Amino acid sequence: MQHALRTYIRLITTLNRWLFQLAAALMLIIVPVMLYEVTSRYVLNAPTTWGMELAVLLFGPYFLLGGPYLMHIGGHVNLDIVRRRLAPLPGRILDSINFTVIILFCSILMYYSWPLAVQAFEYKETTFSAWNPPLWPYKFTVPVAAALLGLQTLAEFIHIWLDPTARYKEEIA
Q: Please state, in angstroms and rounded to a whole number, the distance separating the CA atoms of residues 166 and 72.
A: 13
In this prediction, residue 170 carries a pLDDT of 45
pLDDT digits (tens, 9 = 90+) for 128-140: 999 999 999 999 9
pLDDT digits (tens, 9 = 90+) for 66-86: 999 998 888 776 767 777 788
pTM of the model: 0.86
The ranges assigned to domains in the chain are 2-162
Q: Please state, in angstroms and rounded to a whole number, the distance separating the CA atoms of residues 69 and 63.
A: 11
Residue 171, helix vs strand vs coil: coil
Q: Please state, in angstroms and rounded to a whole number, the distance separating the CA atoms of residues 17 and 4.
A: 20
Q: Please state, in angstroms and rounded to a whole number, the distance separating the CA atoms of residues 125 and 136.
A: 7
Which residues sit opposite 172 in a β-bridge? Answer: none
Q: Please state, in angstroms and rounded to a whole number, the distance separating the CA atoms of residues 99 and 172.
A: 17
